Amino acid sequence: MNRCPICGELANKDNVHLIPWFLIKDCITEGGSGIRDKELSFTIDSSRPTQLYAGRSVLPEKLEDLGNLNLLPREEKNPYSRDKIICSYCEKNLSRLEAIFASEFGVKKIDAMAGRGQRVGQSEVLTSSKYNASIFELLIQSIFYRCSIGRFDGFSLPAKIENKIQTNLSKCFNEVDIENLKPEDTVPLIHRFPIIATLFNPYKGGDPTINFIRLNKSRFPFFLISGKWTFQLFEKESHIKSCIEYMHGLLLGLKPADAYKASVDKSHIFLLDKELSSKIHADIVKSGSLSKINALKKNIREVHNRIFNFKADEYIQNYIFSRYFRHLDVGKSEFDSLVHAFYDLKKLP
Ligand SMILES: [Zn+2]
């Protein structure tokens, strides 16, 4: 068994979430229910055949509803978790950091703060005086770190940055009683990175199917979209001013330099206004479609071959393809869009 890179003990923990569960649960569970073991997702990856992942508690009826798609090979592991990359002690500490974030920036607290913050670009900055910025920063650093060591979607941080975050986590878990950590406490941070956190609006309710999890392959900044949240992590302060990463339009609606100035050394959220939120969502759908076209065409051919036992001709392939985007455009999740695209095929005369 490998050693935990944070503390050196045996890396014995199974099912370590790369991104905290509360950030992804609406995106990857049946009907956005957020219930554990009800995960339902396809892996759409150009390098592997399409597989279906269904959590233990997804009912057989739901799977039968999927018709022939139910025959797809099963992904055995949740694509958003990894086994044995860290130890259970460090995982528990990370969960404590997550719980503090989820409580300090939970819906009730945001409700109380919204409308009172300073306007910055097309957003309002909400800061919490009770929630110490060092704990906030360490959590966000840890998310990028976990995605990197778990190679989520092929993502990796440069070794230099990964090591710095690892040092922060080691020192902190070694010196601080994390289990009893309170939001107002300070934790040691040897290495700091500018961070900008944003939240889409509406931040509660709304359409549960407009949910995406993406780690862009950009470095200036590293950029993660997870459900209603986005996180930017900059390697250096000097990169903020020269940032040209479009980030689906976030760059224009909330300039990183302005955002950093308004949030430095504070635990914060930029609550994006509704117009900017829907612009960004529309851009994700559009750009997602472009970069995924080839992977998707290959997947459609494979799925079709598996279900019908013969290769889809060009016409059928394009038909499924167009129906997929039609469903995606009206706000269905990636998963449901593919399912419905195949349903549509059955309706053809
Ligand atoms: Zn450990």
Q: Is the pLDDT of residue 208 over 60?
A: no
Q: What residues contact 113, with CB distance under 8 A and at least 6 apart? A: 126, 128
The pLDDT assigned to 335 comes to 78
**Alpha helical stretches, state H, the chain:** 21-28, 60-65, 88-104, 107-113, 133-149, 159-175, 238-241, 250-253, 256-263, 274-308, 314-329, 334-347
The closest alpha carbon to 77, from 6, 18, 139, 26, belongs to 18
Q: Residue 284 above 80 pLDDT?
A: no
Q: What ranges do the domains of the chain cover? A: 86-272, 279-347
Q: Which residue has the tokens 């941070």?
A: 189
pLDDT in tens, 324-339: 877 877 777 777 888 8
Q: Which residue has the higher pLDDT, 294 or 244?
A: 244
What pLDDT score was predicted for residue 314? 74
Going from the Cα of 156 to the center of ligand 1, the distance in angstroms, rounded, reads 20
State the average pLDDT over residues 336-349: 80
Residue 117 has pLDDT above 80, yes or no: yes
pLDDT confidence of residue 69: 67
Buried b / exposed e along 9-24 (16+ C-beta atoms within 10 A): eebebeebbbbbbbbb
C-alpha of residue 346 to centroid of ligand 1, in Å: 51
According to the model, what pLDDT value does residue 298 have? 75
pLDDT for res 42: 65
What share of the chain in percent tops pLDDT 70?
Answer: 90
pLDDT given at position 33? 75
Instruction: Note the pLDDT of residue 192.
Output: 97
List the single range of 217-221, 234-238, 262-266, 298-302 with lowest mean pLDDT: 298-302
Band of residue 8 on the pLDDT scale cut at 50, 70, 90: very high
Average pLDDT value for residue range 25-33 = 74
CA of 287 to the centre of ligand 1 (A): 38
Determine the distance separating the centroid of ligand 1 and the alpha carbon of 254, expressed in angstroms: 37
Separation of 86 CA from ligand 1 center, angstroms?
5
Which of 19-28, 63-72, 185-194, 240-249 reaches the highest mean pLDDT? Answer: 185-194
Q: Which of 72-86, 167-181, 186-200 is the least confident region?
A: 72-86
pLDDT of 291 > 60? The answer is: no
Looking at every residue in the chain, the average pLDDT score rounds to: 86
97 C-alpha vs ligand 1 centroid, how far in Å? 15
pLDDT of residue 36: 75
Expressed in angstroms and rounded, the spacing between residue 165 Cα and the centre of ligand 1 is: 14
